[in-house]
Structures are given as C-alpha cells and as structure tokens.
Structure 1
Amino acid sequence: MAPKLLFVYNAETGFFNKLTDFAHKIISPKTYPCSLCALTYGNFTIFPEWAEYLDKLPQQLEFVYKNEWKHADVCHKFPVVALQTVEKVEVLLTAEELGSMKTLEALKARLDEALQRKQV
C-alpha cells in the first residue's frame, strides 16, 4: 500500500450538517470549528491554489469527515492531517497546529515539512 494522506475535517456527513457548516462559515467565520476547511475552501468551492498543490503530491489522498474516522486510537481531536502506511497511521498536523495557521501558504509549508521529515 502506497502512503496515503488523510485529511480529516471537523465536520460531519449529511445534508443538514453541510448546510449548518456553510451557514456558520459565512455568519461567524471566527468561530467556525474546522480550521482545515477554512484554510482550504471558500464559501462554495476548494481554493484553486490548494487543488493545484494537492494534485502535485505523490501520495494518495483521502478526505474524511470526523464521523467517518476509523482511527480513534490515533487521534480524536479534529481537524487533523495524518499519514497512513502499511504499518500505521500517524498524525502529521494536529488540530492545534491547524488552528494556529492563518494562511494556506502556512498550511502547505507545514505539510511539506512534515512529509519531508517522514521522507514520503
């Protein structure tokens, strides 16, 4: 199995949840609970710069809502970016780290650093 990056959003599946998240992000962006969403998505779509960055990553990518996360033993605070290999799943960027980031550039730089440390 090739290494896979797991992007886990602090949001849940379902139409009502998506509608609520959408409204919260617009009405009160400073209290929106998913910093990963806020950094990578506008009100309606993914930021083109983020999509281009993701396209260039050599790892497989998986985007997961917190209620779909199957690795509670690894992490139970969201959002999170993790790396899944044959041997294990490990956190690359914690909720606290993601919450402290103010720009998409910061996210990309920190993710690049984390991947370089793991040499994947």
Structure 2
Amino acid sequence: MKLLFVYNANSGKLNTLFDVGHKLFSPSSYKCSLCALTHDVFSENAIWKRFRDEGQFDMVFYHKDEFEIIFPKVKLLYPTILKLEKNQLTTVLNPEVLNDIPNVETLIGRLKSSI
C-alpha cells in the first residue's frame, strides 16, 4: 500500500518560484492547501518532515502535471491524497477535506486515522 500525495501545483523551477511568491504575498488565496500544510515558504515543514521520516507509510509525492502523465485516465480535483493498493486508487482525503484542515498536526492525525 502506498499513499499518493498530489499537489495542486505544477512541477518545475519557474512554477516553484511563482508558488513561493504567492505564499509570501497572498497566502490566503494560495490554491494548494496540501502544499501550505506540508511546506513553509522556503522549505518542508519540520513536523511534516519528521512524520515522513518515521516511515509509517510508503509515500509518493506528485505535482499535478506529473500525476497526470503517470495516471492519464484518472481525473481528479487537486490537491488530494490517494491510497494505491493492488493497482486500485481510492481517495483518502479530497480537496474539500484538505481545505478545512487547519494545520499539519491535524493532517497527520487524519492520515493515521484514515489508514
């Protein structure tokens, strides 16, 4: 079983630069709640990094453009967290739920209770 995290952001250095600017100058309108939970402006959130490093779950991270190349027939709203098990994708946390999660600690708790 793997958890797939799909950010509502595209890959690439230019897109990363735009995302950093958006987080700095207009954080309330930033379109990726998952990004905002797991990353600070310039780096990965320390609490999130510690959780990832604990290795409780096998995790794979995608920008939406990367996910769409690997899974071209899967249509989703972003951001989202999926479970991949026996070649089946199921939703763990959808965009609506992720948008309502106030902090990384709550995200971690929701993940632990959902799996």
TM-score if structure 2 supplies the norm length? Answer: 0.90
Q: Which residue of 1 aligns with 2:101?
A: 101
Classify 1:75/1:98 alpha carbon distance in 2 versus 1 (closer, same or farther; 3 Å).
Answer: farther
**Matched positions, count:** 113
Equivalence map 1:40-119=2 (5 Å): 40-69=38-67, 70-71=70-71, 73-115=73-115
Contact conserved, 1:10 with 1:66, CA < 8 A, in 2? Answer: yes
1:68-98 Cα offsets, whole Å, 9 max, x none, are 1144655411111111112301110001100
Asked if the contact 1:74–1:91 (Cα under 8 Å) also holds between the matched residues in 2, the reply is no
Of 22-31 and 50-59, the range deviating more from structure 2 = 50-59
SS in structure 1 at match of 2:91: strand
| Partner Cα separation in structure 2 for residue 75 and residue 96 of structure 1 | 16
Q: Deviations over 1:3-46 (max 9, x none)?
A: 11111100001121111111001100000000011011111111
- The match for 2:7 is 9
Runs of 4+ aligned structure 1 residues displaced above 6 Å come to none
- Can you give the 5+ residue segments of structure 2 that lack an aligned partner in the other structure? none
Which deviates the most, 70-79 or 50-59? Answer: 70-79
Paired with 2:62 and 2:105, the residues of 1 have a C-alpha distance of 22
What is the TM-score normalised by the length of structure 1? 0.87
CA RMSD, 1 decimal: 1.4
Identical-residue share of aligned pairs (%) = 35
Q: Which segments of 5 or more consecutive residues in structure 1 lack a partner in the other structure? A: 116-120
